[in-house]
Chains A and B, each alone.
Chain A
Amino acid sequence: MNLSRREQLTGRVFLIALIVVTLLPFVSMLSAALQPRGTVPSGLEWPSDPQWGNFADAFTAANMGALLRSSLLIVAGVVPVSVLIATMAGFGLGQLRVPGGRLVFGLFLLGLTLPFEAVVTPLYYQMQDLGLLNTRWAIILPLIGLYMPFAVFWMRAHFTNVPVELSEAARVDGSSTWQLFWRVQVPLARPAIASLTILMFLWTWNQFLLAIVLVDDATKRTMAGALGAFQGQWGTDLVLLCAGSLLILTPTLIVFLIFQRQFIKALIQGSVKG
C-alpha cells in the first residue's frame, strides 16, 4: 500500500462521515419513537423517560402479527418457485443449449431494465379478469414473472461456465437429464442459487408498487406495502409512526444481520451482473 498516511487518514474520515450519515436517520427515528405519545418530538433528543411501551402500541396498531404472516406467505409463494424454474431455465439455456435458446434468452434480456410501472396497469386488469385482485396471488404470480429476466440471466451465467464434460460424464454413467440436473448440477450451483434466493427474498419483502396497486387490504400485502398503509393511517402521530416503522423494519434487519456476509456478496454480485 503506497498511499500516504495523510491520504489514508482523509479516507478514513470520509468513511466514518459516511457511516454517521447512514445511521443518523435510524437514530433520529428511534429518539422520536421513544418520546411520550401526543408530544411533538424534535430532531434528535434522547427522551428523559424513554417510552418503550410505544413499540407495544405500534405492534397492535400495525397489526404486526398479520403483516408478518402475510409477507411470509408471499415470500413462500414467490421465492421457491422462482428459484426452481429460473434454475431449470438457466440449465436449459446454459448447459443443454437448446436450439433457439439464444432467441429466448434475448427475449428475457428485454425485460432486464423494465420498470414495473410499465406493466402495472395491464396487470391490474389481468388480475381483475382472473378474479385474483385483492388476494396475495395478485402479488405472487406477477412477481414470479417479473423476476424471470434477472433470475434466468443469473442462473444461465452460472451454467454457461460449468464445463460440458461434466454433463457428458454423468450421461456416460447412464443418468437421465433430470438426474443430471437434480443430482449433479443443482448441488454444484448452490452458491449461485443461495445468492439468488437472498435477492428474491429481499425484493419480494420490499415490493411496494404491486402491493398498493393490486391489493387494498394491508394485511394481505408485503411488508413495504403494509408500511405504506401504516403511514397513511398514522401519518400525523409521529411518535407512533416512527415506532411502527422501526418495528416493521426489524424482521429484515434481523435476517440481514444473521446472513450479512451472504447478503453483501449477493448484492454486490447481483448489481454487477444485472
Chain B
Amino acid sequence: MTSALGSAPTGRDDRRARPTPTRAHRSRWARAAGTGWLYVLPALVMYAVFVLRPLVLTLQYSLYDWNGIGVARWVGLDNYLTVFTDSDLLKIIGNAIVLIVFFSFIPVALGLLVASMVRRITTGAFGTVVRTILFLPQVIPLVAAGIAWSWLLSSNGLVNQALRAVGLGGVARAWLGDFDTALPAVGVIGAWVLLGLCTILLVTGMSKIDPALYEAARLDGAGPVREFLAVTLPSLRQEIGVCLTVTIIAALASFDIVYISTSGGPGLQTTVPGLEIYRLAFSQRQVGLASALAVVLMLLVLACVLPIQRLSRGEKP
C-alpha cells in the first residue's frame, strides 16, 4: 500500500505550462496523460490485487475439487452441476430469493405508502428527529440488529409478550427456532433494517415532485389511487430503482443477520448462499463447490440488478 502511494506524482514533468492558451488543449491534455495515469494507478493496483485477482481465483477454484491444502483435481463444470442439482443447495438459493420479498418488497411497499401520505417530512426539529431515528438501523452493525431481534423473537421476547397480552398466546413460539417461521422471522429483521432507508429515500424523492402535477390530476377527477399510479409511481421511478437495487443486493448477499440470529437453522431453513459459501469453504473444506456457489451468487445479483438499473434509468435522471 505504501509503495503504491510512493508513486504519487511530483508533477515536475509538466511544470512548463504555456503562457498563451490556444484552442489546442487536446495536445496539452495528451501531455498530461502520462501524469494522469499516475493518479489512477494506486486505486487500480489495490483493486486489481484485492478484488480482481481473487475474483479470477474464485473462477479458477470453481473448476477444481480442492480441500484447501492438498492437491487440487480438475473437475470441469461438475461443481456447477452440483449447485444446480443438489436439492440442499437449490433450497439455499431459494431461501435467498424468498428473502427478497422481506428485504425488498415490503420495505419499498411500506415506504411508498408512507411517502405518498407524508409527501415531505417537516423541515423543522420534528423532521430531524424523524430522519435520525429512521436511519438508526442503517448505522448500527447488522450483527447488532441480529442480536436485538434474536432477543425480541425469542420465547420470552417482546413479540410473544405482546401476543400474549392481546390474547394470542396460542401462536407464541420461538420464532427463529421454528421450522415454519424461521425464514420469515429472519426476513422481518431485514425488513426492519431497510424500512427506514427506503422510506427516507422515497419521501425525499416525493418532495421533489411538482405539486402542480397533483393539482392537474385532481382537476382531471383522479382519486387517490389513480393519482398514485399516474403521478407518484412514475415520478419516483428512479428512487424506487435505487431502493430495489440496494435491498435486493442486501437480500441475496445476506450473511451477518443469518449468521448471528439462526446460523442457518433449524435444519437448512434459513441457510443462505453467503453462509453456505462460508461453511463449505472453511468448515467442510470444499473450496471448489464453495467457489462455484459464489460465482452463481454473483451472477444472480447481476441478473436481478441490471434489469432494474435499465428500467429506472430509462431517461436521464
Contacts and interface: CB of A to CB of B under 8 A. Distances in A.
A86 B43 contact: yes
Contacts of B211: 1-2
Interface stretch (B76-84, B98-106, B198-206): B198-206
Interface string A26-58: 101100100000001111100000000000000
B128 to A, nearest CB: 8
Given A8-B117, A113-B302, A272-B242, A98 B36 contact: yes
A179 B11 contact: yes
Contacts of A76: none
Contacts, number: 344
B33 A248 contact: no
Interface stretch (B86-94, B177-185, B249-257): B249-257
A81 B196 contact: no
B222 interface: no
A146 B51 contact: yes
Contacts of B29: 96-97
B55 A89 contact: no
A52 to B, nearest CB: 19
Interface of B: 1, 4-5, 8-12, 14-15, 17-19, 21, 25, 28-30, 32-33, 35-40, 42-44, 46-55, 57-58, 61, 68, 110, 113-114, 117-119, 121, 128, 130-145, 147-149, 151-152, 156-162, 192, 195-197, 199-201, 204, 211, 214-215, 218, 224, 238-239, 242-243, 245-246, 249, 252-253, 255-256, 259-260, 273-274, 277-278, 281-282, 287, 290-291, 294-295, 297-298, 301-302, 305
The 9 closest A-B pairs by CB, nearest first: A145-B50, A11-B117, A176-B11, A43-B161, A92-B39, A178-B11, A115-B253, A96-B36, A224-B141
Interface of A: 1-3, 7-8, 10-12, 14-15, 18-19, 21-26, 28-29, 32, 40-44, 81, 84-86, 88-89, 91-93, 96-99, 101, 104, 107-108, 111, 113-126, 141-142, 144-146, 148-149, 151-152, 164, 168, 171-179, 181, 202, 205-206, 208-209, 212-213, 223-224, 227-228, 231, 238, 241-242, 245, 248-249, 252-253, 256-257, 260-261, 263-264, 267-268, 271-272, 274
